[in-house]
Amino acid sequence: MAVDLAIRARDVRKEYGAVHAVDGLDLAVHRGEIYGFLGRNGAGKTTTIRMLLGLIRPTAGVVEVLGHDVAGPRREWLRRVGFLVESASAYPNLTVRENLELHRRLTGAPRRSVEEQIERLDLGAYATRRAGTLSLGNKQRLSLARALLHSPELLVLDEPANGLDPAGIVEVRELLRSAARDHGVTVFMSSHILAEVAHLADRIGIVHAGRLVEEAPRDVLAQRAREYLAGAFTEQQRQDALLTADLERYFLARTGADAEAVDRG
């Protein structure tokens, strides 16, 4: 594996009977970059992430993370990775602080890291609350705090903005930018929302039906996404629906407009 690559996947396939969840996927993610893995639900994003973390084995192909084949001993590299997979999760009967303290002991992170992440993810008001009583957004914050707790070299995040309000999305966006820019952390994040990756990722890979169908720097893809839409309407109600803020949000996202403006819209 090349020294500057944090993730490398070569002709990776994952089959469940006749279903090809991932079908000949190739990835090369450079150290220190933010890579956006974009695709609709069911495109193969989560299956790919689970293979990157060694949670499931590929049917064929090779996956390497931080210079290690994930088919080998995970202890060599997994403690250098922070991750959030599929949905926010925690021990529901433990408090936010207790959840983080347990993870700190498992990873060997410094004692101060628990309070640092509680402050960083704005969880102070919920630190003594049981995780099972948190809102979806605050469960997501807790999962992100746990992923960042041990200062990982690589963050693998599956839909990290899920459940967050617009202000929280902006905060997490800045947090990830800072991790990459100031600490050299590699961020691999999946999303089905173009606007979410278009204003954060250095490069974007578009996955469809388990295949990487397009990959390019953010600016290049934003330029390619510029398009016109022509239509004829015979039904007033349908026309009104098409001209709502949802359509405006679509155009803004596709043309690379400012994400905060989209959120405010």
Tens-place pLDDT, residues 110-149: 999 999 999 999 999 999 999 999 998 999 999 999 999 9
Q: In whole angstroms, what separates CA 259 from the centre of its chain?
A: 17
Quick one: tokens of 7?
């993730």
Least-confidence region, from 51-60, 224-233, 254-263: 254-263
Task: Indicate whether 159 and 261 sit together in one domain.
Answer: no
**Domain interval for residue 84:** 31-55+71-217
Task: Indicate whether 168 and 41 sit together in one domain.
Answer: yes
Q: With pLDDT > 70 as the criterion, what percentage of the chain qualifies?
A: 83
Domain contains 102: yes
Task: Indicate whether 45 and 113 sit together in one domain.
Answer: yes
What is the sign of the dihedral through the CA atoms of 176, 182, 183 and 184? positive
Q: Residue 32: pLDDT above 90?
A: yes
C-alpha closest to that of 262 among 173, 141, 140, 138: 173
C-alpha closest to that of 13 among 70, 60, 69: 60
User: Where does the pLDDT of residue 220 fall: very low under 50, low under 70, confident under 90, or very high at 90 and above?
Assistant: confident
Task: Indicate whether 125 and 244 sit together in one domain.
Answer: no
Quick one: tokens of 192?
């089905």
DSSP bridge pairs for 155? 82, 187
Backbone angles phi, psi at 130, to 5 degrees: -65, 140
Residue 193: Cβ within 10 Å count: 17
Tens-place pLDDT, residues 69-93: 999 888 879 889 999 997 778 999 9
Q: Residue 244: pLDDT above 90?
A: no
Give the span between the Cα atoms of 49 and 51, in whole angstroms.
5
Q: Residue 262: pLDDT above 50?
A: no
Task: Indicate whether 139 and 256 sit together in one domain.
Answer: no
Task: Indicate whether 50 and 142 sit together in one domain.
Answer: yes
Domain contains 19: no
Task: Indicate whether 151 and 231 sit together in one domain.
Answer: no
Domain contains 97: yes
Task: Indicate whether 133 and 264 sit together in one domain.
Answer: no
Domain contains 8: no
User: Where does the pLDDT of residue 199 fall: very low under 50, low under 70, confident under 90, or very high at 90 and above?
Assistant: confident
Give the mean pLDDT of 27-43. Answer: 95
Give the span between the Cα atoms of 47 and 19, in whole angstroms.
12
- pLDDT of amino acid 188: 97
Task: Indicate whether 138 and 213 sit together in one domain.
Answer: yes
Q: DSSP string spanning 69-82?
A: ETTS-GGGTGGGEE
Task: Indicate whether 77 and 151 sit together in one domain.
Answer: yes
- pLDDT of amino acid 198: 85
Does residue 207 contact residue 43 with C-beta atoms inside 8 Å?
A: yes
Task: Indicate whether 198 and 252 sit together in one domain.
Answer: no
pTM for the whole structure = 0.81
DSSP, res 33: -
**Domain tally for the chain?**
2
- pLDDT of amino acid 164: 87
Give the span between the Cα atoms of 151 and 147, in whole angstroms.
8
Q: Residue 66: pLDDT above 80?
A: yes
